[in-house]
Amino acid sequence: MLMGISVLYIMGMLIMVEHSEPEIRKVKAEIQGNAENSEKDYERKAEEQGKSGKEIGTQYTGVPSEEFCISCLNMPDEQRKNMILEIQQVAEKILKSHGVIKEPDDLLKGEWFLKLQKRGFEKKLVLAKSGEEIFIGFYIYQEEAPVPDPNLVLLSQYGLWYPQRIEEKFEETVASFFTGAYGDYDFLNVVPENVEKFQACQRDFVKTLEDQGWDGPDVEVVDRIMPKD
């Protein structure tokens, strides 16, 4: 069967993923034809197709080693910028500005949470780490229920962040998902066109955060939980 190579830009690096061209065309057609596709749909299809020896999505084959990821934390800032997503760069800047972290390796010290608000803005900005997931997003609170508008969810591995999904009010776009045990990167699959959407969204979101000055002194800290070893 004809095999192909896709090159994806993830974590500031060019990543090569191997896939079957007919299978990828099939997946793209399914995504375009069904707006309600979700992560559970992909997992179910992967399980069904796994029984027949077929694959769904694109197998991620370029996960950096733990040593490489941790070494990135200690790189000079200018060099490290080439290795991480723009959204991680601006998130680290905001987290430092409001005292959640001092250095990049503080990202490895467990879970953390930061909720911010600015005068004249209805939305609150939330940055959080829960387990292996990073959440960076604007939230509208309707009867105290948080509604993302939008929220970017990323996977954190040894201090580097991977695109996972975009949450926008009551819709989501899945860029990557696990077909095996959650957190086992040997079973991390990506949806190439949704990774591209994530990339565009995170760049627009970064520009918004920078233009609005969420790292500035006029920002109020509503809630903050510091990371612990």
φ, ψ dihedrals at 180, nearest 5°: -120, -145
Predicted TM-score (pTM) of this structure = 0.69
Domain ranges of the chain: 3-225
For the residues 135-149, what does the mean pLDDT come to?
A: 89
What's the pLDDT score for residue 201?
95
What's the pLDDT score for residue 56?
44
- Please confirm whether the linkage preceding 146 is cis (ω < 30° from 0): no
Q: Which of 45, 5, 12 is nearest to 192 (CA)?
A: 5
Over residues 28-50, the pLDDT tens digits come to 344 333 333 434 444 454 454 44
What per-residue string of b and e applies to 137-166 under the rule 16 or more CB within 10 Å gives b? bbbeeeeeeeebebbbbbbbbbbbbbbbbb
